[in-house]
Structure 1
């Protein structure tokens, strides 16, 4: 744009002309620099809607973070619900265990009552027998079951405390993570291995999916300043471990209860069968004692009749009490004997034989009387034995009835039977 003026026609001084040309050149440089700066500004300067753009980007970042936090909260809430269900299941198992332990204590009380009732048997029947061995064996089994169930109950209580601690930790973490979800809908839709969505729904949600993979949460994705914090990872891991341990414990608890119930029923049945057999044996012996008692009574009657006959025969052999009552033919000095004894050496053994006969009859009476006394003593013993057997059978039968009546455990400890 500079205008060239012929030097031949220039009238002004050269300095004046050079000063003007220098100003024009400087202006041209400034124009070029200004255009270049405008081009750079157009390329790098923020647009006029910078505030809106920055606000939109911030909102997108907030929405992404809150969506990730919502996914973590959903995982925490799911773990919390599973932990609550596990606590409910373990609590039901604990109640079943306490019920089995109560039944064991009732069986121990029933065993003690059975032993106490058996102590009231007559002295003749207090000897140690097989029923006592069965009762002692039942008590040993019940004591072992009681110790096992108490140890299992202690483990269950400790596990419930562990689950409760994990639940509190989950709840505290859930509350802390939920603090940024006040402005976000809590409805969560994301694709996982179990979801079956159609292509239209899938295409519409792919653009809104979070960068956080909810199905692969772990320590590798934990970030102290991210949506999935190490504290959330620890809470989820502790809850998962507590639930796994609780599942194994519930299975072990069911096996322990089933085993204890089988042992209790087997021991209870063996004791009842033993008592039934003992009652049957006692009743059988009682019947034999009754037969023996009848034979003893018949023997007493026969011996008594023989004693009466022998006593009558001895009285006949002794003769009348007064000598005046003797007839002539009964006298030792009757006329026939006096005539016979006129010759020497004609002594008759009649008197000695009468004496010996009387002594023999007396000995027979003594022996018969002794036998009668022994028979009566045996009769008394048999009657006492029958009464003892009856009392023992009644006591054992009452124990059996008590055990059958209280076998369903529908009674309280300390109640009267």
Structure 2
């Protein structure tokens, strides 16, 4: 028969199992839920970015709104009462329909296509490096071309300056030849005049111009060496950058046009109001635009600006020296021509004086000869045929003494007085004639000196005009001057000590 169990006492806990057993089961379940939530959260977190992780202090139904809030466009009120929507700061894709700007996705674990993504990123980095290297090489190449063009301009200007310096040196030698040639004048014509002062002034001015041109040549030579060194540096860096892009067949000028850079060195072009090209990146030791390239381009810019200023200064100096030298030479030739005209006037006056003196000398000599004839007639006849009266030549000569009776005779006294007066006139006339002859000799000597001086000055002008021609080079003129320096110097003719007339 069945056994009836005594009814259990009624209590609040209707569970049959023991509380410890139930608590143990609940603890195990709670631990399992915690592990599930944690693992799931960690699994999702590993696939999400760090800023997308839900804040544990925010409710679950509010976490999405708090997460999306930074993405939305902000509405700002302007002063006029209008509103404007501005995107949030930071990188991201702008969604215009929903007015949201999603930030860039950054995951903690590699995606399933991680290898392909890395390959694409590597390819992008390589392409970016190649593009940067190509752009840097294009900039360096363009700078090298401009430096080469500046070198050619500087070389041409140096040739023009050197030609002008050769003309200045030729002018110095011409001045020296002119001074030496004017040294062949006679002594009376070597009195310092304005022509000598002009030649001295020309020598000082030519020396000053010579020093100025030599300084320009030295400065341009230093700048030429700097430009050549900068060109070689730019070429080396360009060749080094082209090693990374040697397989890309895109012209470097096209790269500069795409980048919006028409020139990286020339600062004279008009800047565009809105630059369309890429900005010059900052120097990066690990990138394509290294500090060395930046320093080379900056040096190229500085040298280009300095060379432009130097070229302008050299061209101005060359033009000024050419005009100044031409004016100085014309002034010297004009002074010598004026001296020739003055010498010609003096020579004509001396020639006229010589003609007048020659007539006076002839008249004096004729009068002196007639006086000699008169003196002979006073002394008496020489033969019987000269006698007009019947005088006897064998009569004794009457000697005139104070105690003699013949002193009272008028004929002898008058004859003696006339003869003595005639002798005094003859001696005075001879003295005047000698003085006239001496003065004529001096005047003739001075006339010949003026003639020689005029010929010398005319030869100096012809020499300067002939040697100033561009076909006469400096070396030829210097060799000619060296040959002339070794020859004997022509001396003026000797003069007589008594009369001063040339022997």
Give the corresponding residue for 1:127. Answer: 191
Matched residues in 2 for 1:255 and 1:233: separation?
A: 33
**Aligned structure 1 segments of 4 or more residues deviating by more than 3 angstroms:** 35-50, 213-217, 321-331, 344-350, 414-417
Report how far residue 46 of structure 1 moved.
4.5
Mapped contact 1:286–1:390 kept (Cα < 8 A): yes
Q: Give a deviation string over 1:283-331, Cα, whole Å, max 9, x none.
A: 2222112111111110011101211221222222222257997666889
Give the corresponding residue for 2:416. Answer: 355
The answer to whether the aligner puts 1:179 opposite 2:243 as a matched pair is yes
Pairing 1:262-341 to 2, within 5 Å after superposition = 262-321=323-382
Report how far residue 227 of structure 1 moved.
2.1
Give the corresponding residue for 2:312. Answer: 251
Report how far residue 388 of structure 1 moved.
2.0
Give the corresponding residue for 2:455. Answer: 394
Mapped contact 2:371–2:422 kept (Cα < 8 A): yes
What is the total number of aligned residue pairs between the two structures?
Answer: 365
The answer to whether the aligner puts 1:112 opposite 2:180 as a matched pair is no
Give the corresponding residue for 1:369. Answer: 430
Identify which range, 123-132 or 78-87, moves more after superposition: 123-132
The answer to whether the aligner puts 1:153 opposite 2:221 as a matched pair is no
Mapped contact 1:70–1:186 kept (Cα < 8 A): no
The answer to whether the aligner puts 1:380 opposite 2:448 as a matched pair is no
Report the aligned-residue RMSD.
3.5
Give the corresponding residue for 1:15. Answer: none
Report the structure, 1 or 2, having the larger helix content. 1
Structure 1 residues 256 and 286, CA, compared in 2 at 3 Å: closer, same or farther?
same
Matched residues in 2 for 1:127 and 1:396: separation?
A: 14
Q: Give a deviation string over 1:77-117, Cα, whole Å, max 9, x none.
A: 11111111111111111111111110001011111111111
The match for 2:142 among 48, 63, 78 is 78
Give the corresponding residue for 1:190. Answer: 258
Give the corresponding residue for 1:92. Answer: 156
TM-score by length of 1: 0.77
Give the corresponding residue for 2:95. Answer: none
Mapped contact 2:407–2:413 kept (Cα < 8 A): no
For the residue of structure 1 that corresponds to 2:337, the secondary structure is helix
Please, which runs of 5 or more residues in structure 2 have no aligned partner? 1-24, 49-106, 264-275, 396-404, 482-503
Matched residues in 1 for 2:259 and 2:452: separation?
A: 80
Please, which runs of 5 or more residues in structure 1 have no aligned partner? 1-21, 196-209, 335-343
Matched residues in 2 for 1:372 and 1:358: separation?
A: 21
TM-score by length of 2: 0.65
For the residue of structure 1 that corresponds to 2:243, the secondary structure is helix
* Higher relative contact order (CA closer than 8 Å, sequence separation 6+): 1
